[in-house]
Amino acid sequence: MYLFADGFILNADMIEKLINKDKIKTSMVLAAVRLAPVAKSPDESLGDLFSEVQKEHIYDDGKTFADLVPRLSNKQIKQEYLLAKQDPHFDLREFISRHFYKLDTDKASETFATNPNLTVSEHISALWTHLERRNRLDRGSLISLPYTYVVPGGRFNEQFYWDSYFIMLGLAVEGKWEIIEGMIKNFVYMLNRFGFIPTANRTYFLSRSQPPFLSHMIRLLADHKGQSTLVEYLPYLIKEYNFWMKGSWKLAKQEHRAFARLVQMDNGLLMNRYYDNKMAPRPESLDEDTSTAKSADSRDAERLFLHLRAGAESGWDFSSRWFTDPHDIKTIHTADIIPIDLNSLLYQLETTIADAYRVIKQPLLVRKFKKLADKRMQAIQNYCWDEETGFFTDYNFHHKRSTGRLSLAGVYPMYAKIATNEQAARVAIMIEDSFLKDGGLVTTLTNSLQQWDAPNGWAPLHWIAIQGLRNYGYDELADKIKQAWITTNLKVYRSQHRLVEKYNVVQTHSLGTGGEYPLQDGFGWTNGVLVALLSED
């Protein structure tokens, strides 16, 4: 039996009703929630072997080894490794190939055959099937999920958290509601199993989440099925909220009044930050993080790792938004920052919970969460509005001032309908004058060679900006952005017959650059946003 905030009790029968009507699959889910131990991250279970493989660059992408499946238990493999490496002729590459294999789930191993005669919408429709995965057994670092899901593509063969909302936008256009609801139920499953929604269903992601878009997914489904959907998923919205608000009773005794993802501001209001529960290199980027720490002589390595991990939780990994020196990742300090996007999303989570209570006629609880949302709105106005620039910015609560970094995160308060009309007018001017390029919106105004900076544009941020501008009546500017973004996507599709993770919006024929890994094809949220925008015409 599971007890949620405000007296909600979820027992096994309720889980059975909410998660799965198929008794066999449901029993697997319930067993996993109650009984299955969570496997260790491969860096923990393999120890020195994992570190050595990553340091020796056995694979070009560190995520490759983190995703391999062991043929024996990790304990056995580690014991064999300790003996085998004493041989002067020991071959690490051969050892790995003999003891691990790549998991081929459904169509993951198939090469997608592009048909140049297809329209972009037809191409995306075919891609959805190619990007579907089903995995009901924990294998290696991959965590089982009860329902079919859609992955972003390329190196990303998991159900990622915030990616999924933008993927769902495209699935909804094609009426794929069964998959959408299955993906939401997968998140419900992870909430029950882990107490939060991790970045994706990998063991090495179990210390961090991602931007909380669960309420948006449920609202999307509710628009299709009816407002009772809000009630059906209310316990999970509350569980998600409790994860982000955990630790309020500890704040008074903490440095800077911050604990985990929660921060108490000078005026007593609560705001949130991105965080991670570990202070170690990310397993999938172990070599990159270790190298960054080695070159940052003046910084404590564990604190640096925390800030890198918190940046990864933000989804903006990485951006000058998180740096003291906008061109130097060694100055990253993500966990010192109150992010404008995160707090706008949590405002929307609070209002969604209030709306769910309104459906079941619980006025006291409606008032409670409406009051929490109003307080967050007040905090965002107090700390994240920069009057000098006329834009919403992140806030450094250590230094008690704006970070001064202008980014597309500044449109989230318009997306969440937090901005005043006067603020919206100034944000719209800044968007048109500074962010809008021939190919769409640049992510920031800084070219740092990081992927979440100029000259790159990203599908989810275009969706947020377009919807935010529409909320305040700036339809002409929204349509201008929409057409620029669609044109960029179509130019690349027509010349290369593919859709990619990010685009160079300054040079509209160019692909996105920067980051820790090569540009990825697929691509889930690009597909979803593009189809959703095209469907409006």
- The DSSP-derived string for 250-271 is GGGGSGGGEETTEEE-TTS-EE
Single-letter code of the amino acid located at 97: S
From 67, 163, 232, 317, active-site residue: 317
DSSP strand E in 433-521: where? 436-437, 440-441, 456-457, 503-504
Q: Which two tokens stand for residue 30?
A: 């319930």
Q: In sequence order, what are the beta bridge partners of 345?
A: none
Element (H, E) at 14: helix 12-19
Q: Which two tokens stand for residue 501?
A: 């993770």
State how far Cα 481 lies from the chain centre. 23
State how far Cα 198 lies from the chain centre. 9
SS3 annotation, 330-387? HHECHHHEECHHHHHHHHHHHHHHHHHHHHCCCHHHHHHHHHHHHHHHHHHHHHHEEC
Question: Which of 343-368 are b and which e, b meaning 16 or more Cβ less than 10 Å from the residue's Cβ?
Answer: bbbbbbbbbbbbbbbbbeebeebbeb
- What are the angstrom distances between the C-alpha of 385 and each of 390, 412, 420, 427? 7, 12, 11, 10
501 given a catalytic annotation: yes
SS3 annotation, 28-45? HHHHHHHCCCCCCCHHHH
Q: Which two tokens stand for residue 85?
A: 């490496």
Please state, in angstroms and rounded to a whole number, the distance separating the CA atoms of residues 49 and 522.
32
Handedness of CA 434, 436, 441, 447 (dihedral sign): negative
Q: Which two tokens stand for residue 91?
A: 């071959």
SS3 annotation, 280-320? CCCHHHHHHHHHHHHHCCCCCHHHHHHHHHHHHHCCCCCCH
For 514, left (φ over 0), alpha (ψ -120 to 50), or beta?
left
Single-letter code of the amino acid located at 498: R
Please state, in angstroms and rounded to a whole number, the distance separating the CA atoms of residues 316 and 489.
21
387 given a catalytic annotation: no
From 158, 232, 501, 521, active-site residue: 501
Q: List active site positions.
A: 317, 501
